Structure 1
Amino acid sequence: MVTVTIRAIEVNDWEGLAALQQFPKVRRGTLQMPYQSPAVIRRRLENQPENIYQLAAIEPESEQLVGTISLHQQTRGRQHVGCIGMAVRDDFHGQGIGSELLKEVVEIADGWLNLKRLELTVYVDNAPAIHLYQKFGFLIEGTLKKYAFREGRFVDAFTMARII
C-alpha cells in the first residue's frame, strides 16, 4: 500500500495528467485517445464545468500525480446521477490508490451531493477495475456490445451502477 494525498485537481496538474494518460494500461482502460496534446488537457482543466468534481492522487515523496477520478453530476431530470471515470498510473496499480480515490468520490456523492445513482462504464476485460467497483457496491447492469474501438478491434464494456 502506498500513501497518497487526495486533493482537488488543479489547473497546474495538466502536465501530470498528460503524463498519466500516456501509460499503456491507462490508455487501454479508458476512452482517452493516445498522444493527446498537453495543451488540450490544460484547456480542459482551465474550463472545467462546475458540475464536474475531479480529484488527484499525489504521491507525497515525488509530488507526482499517480491517479485521478472524476464525478460528473448530471443535469435536468438526472440531477440525482453521477458518472465516474478514473485512472491510476500503471506502476501504482494494486496499491490501494483506486480504492482511496473511489472512497473520496463516493463520500462527495453521498455526503455532499445527495446522489442516488453512481454509474460508470468499464471494459469487460478489466477484471481488477470491475472487482474494485463491486467492492464499493457497483453492480453490472448490462453489456454494451462493440462499445469501443480499441487497439484495432471492437471491445465490449459493462455498464455498472451503485444505487442508494
Structure 2
Amino acid sequence: MNATSPLNLRAVNLGDTAAKCAIRDRLGERYGTLGVPFAGDATGSANRNRLNANDHIIIAATSDTVTGSASLRCLTGHRDHAASFGVMEADVWQRKGGGTALVAALIDLADIWLGLRRNKLNMFADNRPNTAFYRKFGLVPKTQLTAYALRDDALSVALLTAWL
C-alpha cells in the first residue's frame, strides 16, 4: 500500500464490501463508530442489502486500495429535506486529504444535487479529532445524547451535530 498514491472518488460497487469491512474492523477506526469487533463480511453484506435509492455511498480509493468511504442516508416523508451521514477512513490514510475530499463530495451531493437542508452526524463526545475535523465544514454540536451507545463497557455520551 502506497499512502502517497493519488486518491479517486467513485461510487461504491459490490466488490468493495470486504475492503470496507476490513477498514471498519481495525480498532483505530472502529473505536469512533458504532461498529463492533469481528463483524466481518456478513455484516457488510447485510448492510449492503439494506441500501435503497435514498442511500448514497462514495468510495475513496487508489488504483488498488479502498482507503475510505462516506455515506449519505436521505430521510423520507416529512423529513425528506434531511439526511444523516458517516465517514470512515483507514488509519494509515487519515490526515492525507481523503476524508476532506469525501466530506466535500457529500456536501456537494447533499446541497447541490439533492437539495437537502439538514444533514446530521452523531459522534462520540470524547472524539476530539473528529469534532475538529467536522467543525472545519461548519458542522457543530447541537446537543448531547446521554447514554448513547455502549463502548468499553460503559454507556458513552455522543454529540448530535448538524449543518443547516
Please classify the TM superposition score into its range, dividing by the shorter chain length. Answer: over 0.9
Q: Does the Cα contact within 8 Å between 1:24 and 1:90 map onto a contact in 2?
A: no
Amino acid in the other structure paired with 1:8: A
Q: Does the Cα contact within 8 Å between 2:22 and 2:40 map onto a contact in 1?
A: no
Residue 19 of structure 1 pairs with residue 22 of structure 2: yes
Deviation per residue, 1:52-105 (Å, 9 max, x gap) = 001111023xx1111111000000100000101111111111112111100001
2:78 is aligned to 77
Deviation per residue, 1:15-51 (Å, 9 max, x gap) = 1011111111211011012111312312432442110
Question: Offset at 1:139?
Answer: 1.6
Query: % of aligned pairs identical?
Result: 27
1:59 is aligned to 62
SS of the counterpart of 1:154? strand
2:142 is aligned to 141
> Which of 37, 48, 53 is the equivalent residue of 1:50?
53
Length-normalised TM-score, structure 1? 0.92
Length-normalised TM-score, structure 2? 0.92
Extract unaligned runs of 5+ from structure 1.
none
Describe how 1:14-163 pairs up with structure 2 within 5 A.
Answer: 14-60=17-63, 63-163=64-164
SS of the counterpart of 1:72? strand
Would you say how many aligned residue pairs link Structure 1 and Structure 2? 161
Extract unaligned runs of 5+ from structure 2.
none
Which aligned runs of 4 or more in structure 1 are off by greater than 4 angstroms? none
2:7 is aligned to 4
Give the alignment's Cα RMSD to 1 decimal.
1.4
Q: Distance in 2 between matches of 1:99 and 1:157?
A: 22
